[in-house]
Structure 1
Amino acid sequence: MSWIPAAWGPETLVPLPVLVPLFAAGLTLALHRYANVQRTISVAALVASTLASVGLVLAADAGPVVVDVGGWAAPVGIALVADRLAALMLTVSGVMLLCVLLYSLGQGVPENEAETVDEARVGGAIPVAIFHPTYLVLAAGVSNAFLTGDLFNLYVGFEILLAASAVLLTLGGTAERVRAGSVYLIVALASSVLFLSAIALIYAATGTVNMAQLAVRLPEIDDTVRVALQLLLLLAFGIKAAVFPLSFWLPDSYPTAPAPVTAVFAGLLTKVGVYSILRTQTLIFPDSPVVDQILLVVALATMVIGILGAVAQNDVKRLLSFTLVSHIGFMIFGIALASEAGTAAAIFYVVHHISVQTALFLVVGLVEWRGGSTSLDRLGGLAKLAPLLAVLFFVPALNLAGIPPLSGFLGKVGLLTEGVRIGTPLAWALVVGSVATSLLTLYAVVKAWNKAFWQTAPAEIPEHAPMPRTMVWPAAALVTFGLSLTVVAGPLYGYADRSAATTMDGYTYIEAVYPGGSDRGTGQSADVTDAQTEGGDGP
């Protein structure tokens, strides 16, 4: 970090992934009449945010970087905490958000030119004036959720996501999009009510919503109350992460949106829910064997039922939506193992899945542009018409299925190895379920690839409908990024291991945010220790 001036320590970088997109969103809204200026501001803002995130990855490897918002120290004020896990999630999401934005520049058209575009082929024109500020607000909400060290601020981050995602889902105002957006909005509001209720109950029981302080106060309350609070939080986060049976809304909501919106939702928004589960399970509720067993059952059901739904689909977008649900189960599997190796594998798998799932949805947007549909019955012969498109779909599809030596295979091997090591009947059931899910994923994506690219082309597909380079290259860049995770799998897995070690330990995080507030060995908080010091024996 020697390139940062002395007065600009790593702490300077922490708020940038939140503040820069928010400031840029205001600018793009004010300059809504100037589409080219909007595009320039949006790209510059996400480039700056991504670079700041890369700097935080380097800085956080030496320890969490904490910023007290407004100068109010925790637990009174809100802390932004960039530890290894948060910094890694910020960086991967930044790369993904930037690639999707660049892709959208080729698909989006100014509102007054929308009638000149074949909307059936491009998946619906994107109103640029609305898209850019909303997309930047979404990016700020994601960054806030990853960085916050405060439960209520996490709720604020989710609400920012909810407001932005509701607008993005209904772009274009078609009946189908409004219907899907309405379902999404109702489910998201229900999740928000549950989350806010959990926060209120947690505050009533502990007197704080700071996550570091919660980690030392929650062990002191009644076990039954603590488990009830934990399950309520998991219910709220489970809806956002789309775990079974709380995933019913996703396959109908995502496929109707424009390709860039579907891609960013599929690749990132559910991972914010997974991140929240990972953070709270390891920091606030670190020793909860009963709940971990419940999560293992949920993970198995999510894997199996999700992939069975994918196999039954005949539309590529819906097929990928069901695989998205299914592979959330792999991440919950790693979290539920409640071990450093399982958590490391889950972190690695989240990074892999963000890049691969996003890339696949962007490529499917190109398939829709070139073939005029995402229905497998109406596609065919695209391997001859667009050989590059065939490769761009095939590579991440195999990565999603976990074909060696790709990153999907490496993440699954880490999960399976730890499941075998744990060796309980439920862990073994997850190992078997993971293998079956991977095989069915391979079957589903190969079936889709064969039908779209190899079967005889229907007569209605035009002979010449070139894909815009401004859409092809961002999709290709994200596919390449997914492949690069295999090349750098050693260092990346090492970083995930170190992230898991500090995340599972909790002490480093607590001491960075709330100095002197941790005694994980006894479960005793600094509050109790201070009372004993000042008042003799104390309570």
Structure 2
Amino acid sequence: MSEFTWLVPLPVVMPLFAAGLTLALYRHPRAQRIISVVALSLMVVAGVGLLVLADSGPVIVDIGGWAAPVGIDLVADRLSSLMLTVSSTVLLCVLLYSLGQGVTDGDEAAPVSIYHPTYLVLAAGVSNAFLAGDLFNLYVGFEILLAASYVLLTLGGTGERIRAGSIYVVVALLSSLIFLVAIAMIYAATGTVNLAQLAQRLPEIDPGVRLVLQLLLLLAFGIKAAIFPLSAWLPDSYPTAPAPVTAVFAGLLTKVGVYAIMRTQTLLFTDGRLDTLLMWLALATMVIGILGAVAQNDIKRLLSFTLVSHIGYMIFGIALASKAGLGASIFYVAHHITVQTTLFLVVGLIERRGGTTSLERLGGLAKLAPGLAILFFIPAMNLAGIPPLSGFLGKVGLLEAGVAQGTPLAYTLVIGSVVTSLLTLYAIVKAWNKAFWQTPPEALPEALLPGTMVGPTAALVGLGLLLTAVSGPLYAYADRAAGTMMEPSNYIDAVLDSTGRGQGDSTLTTDGTSPADDPTSTDDATQGGDS
């Protein structure tokens, strides 16, 4: 397996290298498009390769040959590899959609020379965040993707986008400042920012100090993940951006925050002191988010509120602090990245065909564009959790994990999850009826939907159905990821034990196999994670 460790930095290095090329070739739009598509395609290939390799144990690269905890590590375990694969696939589909659309609609077309380098930098930032083996590199990943997102959010330079972008920038900078303060305090208290070494040292410091550090990280990541009451910025920021930008923001950026919470809660803070707080936050995020969605008459804002609401499901699984809950949460994150991105791309098509996203002004699209109706209906029902789609399977897994815990608060979350799912169905059906079946108050403008935009959208709809078709193996993979994460020794030993590992090598036994493949291995965590 060691000969394939070059795959680990590829999802970071490739888009950054491609960003430089596209910037240098700003006068050659066709070359920019080719480079961007090739770079993201290679990201997908690397993600799939790491998905397979990481199932036998974490794959680790020591940057510059300096091993942890001195050097910087990129770590591809089951969780990060799954997130990387899904996110790179989504990024590629959204890029193809944006090429068909010309980045934005109408006369607000943004310079392609800006769009391609920025989009590729965003992809590199997301990848770096998923692969980061220390808190400061995670911070760098956040800043890379946030710097790119500032540009993408304001493409076109309209007043509305500048205003929304200003809100987003202020909130993101606040979150980054809190994160940076937390990193400084953590280093002062422990003398390291390496995640594996922090997992060893944090339990040794004063419990009160450890709680403050945990709260700071949770606050920083909670803003990025749009957890209530830190989510008010999202519905005002996302709907104003171009459709492909909104889609990639909705699908990915909040999930990077969820990933960070998932990683730190299971690796650094295993005492469960904030699990009750997380459960209450999950409940509030689900219920208040979906109530906001029900009240909307603009389909973009409606979907933005459902995005906030369904973050609550993911936090619910993390807060349960059980293998079943965490596995269901990982599965739900992969599902939600795909489905939420798809819906925002479909809404871009609806806006292009109907000239608006207001549900009061739309209507009759089922007759005018029956293919568009199908493209909306499938992911919408998936988001609502209609059986047997992947959204239903993920929610059932979370409900089972909540019932298995058996506490009054867990049962309250189970009831809240069911109510949220029903209200999601109501909000989606309302949008479906108004946009596709009601008689529009005035005739909709004539507009063609380019196949170059419909194709990538249909591909993501198909990917959502594929998640349902392979839900058994995918859920098993997520369950194995949860099993290893519930035993932090898996991650710690892989990163800090340099036996058999040189620069760019993963943790291997003396015969060149992973410990997970060694039948004589006594690593309970690895055995449990593969059961």
Q: Which residue of 2 aligns with 1:105?
A: 99
Q: Aligned equivalents of 1:329 and 1:277: distance in 2?
A: 13
CA shift for structure 1 position 269? 0.3
**Aligned AA (1:476):** A
**Aligned AA (2:339):** V
Q: 2:162 aligns with which of 168, 178, 187?
A: 178
Q: 2:23 aligns with which of 26, 29, 33?
A: 29
1:451 lines up with 2:434 in the alignment: yes
Q: Aligned equivalents of 2:498 and 2:92: distance in 1?
A: 39
CA shift for structure 1 position 355? 0.2
State the SS of the aligned residue for 1:32.
coil
Q: Contact between 1:282 and 1:506, CA under 8 Å: does it hold in 2? A: yes
Q: Which residue of 2 aligns with 1:512?
A: 494
Larger RCO: Structure 1 or Structure 2 (Cα < 8 Å, ≥ 6 residues apart)? 2
1:481 lines up with 2:469 in the alignment: no
State the SS of the aligned residue for 1:254.
helix
Q: Which residue of 1 aligns with 2:40?
A: 46
Q: 1:60 aligns with which of 39, 51, 54?
A: 54
Q: Aligned equivalents of 1:458 and 1:492: distance in 2?
A: 45
State the SS of the aligned residue for 2:276.
helix
Q: 2:215 aligns with which of 215, 231, 235?
A: 231
Q: Which residue of 1 aligns with 2:234?
A: 250
Q: Which residue of 2 aligns with 1:79?
A: 73
Deviations 1:326-349 (A, max 9, x none): 000000000000000100000000
Q: Aligned equivalents of 2:491 and 2:257: distance in 1?
A: 20
1:349 lines up with 2:349 in the alignment: no
Deviations 1:359-413 (A, max 9, x none): 0000000000000000001100000000000000011000000000000000000
Deviations 1:172-196 (A, max 9, x none): 1000000000100000000000000
Q: Contact between 1:126 and 1:258, CA under 8 Å: does it hold in 2? A: no
Q: Aligned equivalents of 1:410 and 1:136: distance in 2?
A: 33
Q: Contact between 2:294 and 2:427, CA under 8 Å: does it hold in 1? A: yes
Q: 2:190 aligns with which of 206, 218, 224?
A: 206
List 4+ stretches of structure 1 deviating above 3 A: none
Q: Which residue of 2 aligns with 1:118?
A: 106
CA shift for structure 1 position 460? 3.5
CA shift for structure 1 position 516? 8.1
Q: Contact between 1:137 and 1:164, CA under 8 Å: does it hold in 2? A: yes
Q: Aligned equivalents of 1:220 and 1:118: distance in 2?
A: 59
Q: Aligned equivalents of 1:362 and 1:409: distance in 2?
A: 22
State the SS of the aligned residue for 1:9.
helix
1:271 lines up with 2:255 in the alignment: yes
State the SS of the aligned residue for 1:41.
helix
Q: Contact between 2:286 and 2:312, CA under 8 Å: does it hold in 1? A: yes
State the SS of the aligned residue for 1:377.
coil
Identical counterparts, % of pairs: 75
Q: Aligned equivalents of 2:458 and 2:153: distance in 1?
A: 24
Q: Which residue of 2 aligns with 1:422?
A: 405
Between 1:490-499 and 1:506-515, the stretch displaced more is: 506-515
TM-score by length of 2: 0.93
Q: Aligned equivalents of 2:258 and 2:220: distance in 1?
A: 11
* Correspondence list, 1:296-375, <5 A: 296-375=279-358
Structure 1 stretches lacking a partner, 5+ long: 2-7, 518-539
Q: Contact between 2:361 and 2:442, CA under 8 Å: does it hold in 1? A: no
State the SS of the aligned residue for 1:76.
coil
Deviations 1:119-159 (A, max 9, x none): 4xxxx423211110000000000000000111000000111
Deviations 1:498-525 (A, max 9, x none): 10011111111111111189xxxxxxxx
Q: Aligned equivalents of 2:38 and 2:477: distance in 1?
A: 28
Q: Which residue of 2 aligns with 1:529?
A: none
State the SS of the aligned residue for 2:27.
coil
Deviations 1:447-496 (A, max 9, x none): 0010000001333312x311010000100100110111010000000000
State the SS of the aligned residue for 1:466.
coil
CA shift for structure 1 position 118? 3.2
Q: Aligned equivalents of 2:156 and 2:373: distance in 1?
A: 29
Q: Which residue of 1 aligns with 2:122?
A: 138
Structure 2 stretches lacking a partner, 5+ long: 500-531
Q: Contact between 1:195 and 1:236, CA under 8 Å: does it hold in 2? A: yes
Q: Aligned equivalents of 2:497 and 2:10: distance in 1?
A: 24
**Aligned AA (2:464):** G
Deviations 1:277-319 (A, max 9, x none): 000000011122x300000000000000000000000000000
Q: Which residue of 2 aligns with 1:396?
A: 379
Q: Aligned equivalents of 2:81 and 2:370: distance in 1?
A: 37
State the SS of the aligned residue for 2:210.
helix
Q: Which residue of 2 aligns with 1:536?
A: none
**Aligned AA (1:416):** L
Q: Which residue of 1 aligns with 2:364?
A: 381
Q: Aligned equivalents of 1:9 and 1:302: distance in 2?
A: 44
Q: Aligned equivalents of 1:9 and 1:16: distance in 2?
A: 14
Q: Which residue of 1 aligns with 2:480?
A: 498
Deviations 1:48-69 (A, max 9, x none): 0110110000000000000001
State the SS of the aligned residue for 2:75.
strand
Q: Contact between 2:67 and 2:498, CA under 8 Å: does it hold in 1? A: no
Q: Aligned equivalents of 1:11 and 1:93: distance in 2?
A: 20
State the SS of the aligned residue for 1:67.
strand
The alignment covers a number of residue pairs equal to 499
